[in-house]
Amino acid sequence: MEYIPNYSGHLKTVEYDESKHQISIVFYDKPEEFNPVVKLIFSGVSDYSCVFLDEYDPNCIELAIGFDLMTLGYCLHTDYREIIFKASKVQKIDINT
């Protein structure tokens, strides 16, 4: 709720740049409009793991089911995958649509 209040939870992109130790996640607004509205950038990423729970369909819009801050880091659970990682910093960028 701190970073993505009032958004649909639908994801435009989830990108992990291993060389920069960075994850960026872009969220859409309302499902009726699908405008990208907020980007979260996690820096200093370590202990990254991604497990696909279902066959990924690039034509479908991924939905965040849960995004939790745990003692050992973050867990992003979507309808396709579960991503667990540690990060030293998070930055929120509002995207003008």
Q: Whole-model pTM? A: 0.87
Q: What is the pLDDT of residue 97?
A: 56
Domain ranges of the chain: 10-94
**CA-closest candidate to residue 20, choices 49, 51, 41:** 41
pLDDT, one tens digit per residue, over 11-20 is 999 999 999 9
- Cα separation of 38 and 64, whole Å? 14
pLDDT, one tens digit per residue, over 22-74 is 999 999 988 788 899 999 999 999 999 999 987 878 788 899 998 888 888 99
Q: What is the pLDDT of residue 1?
A: 59
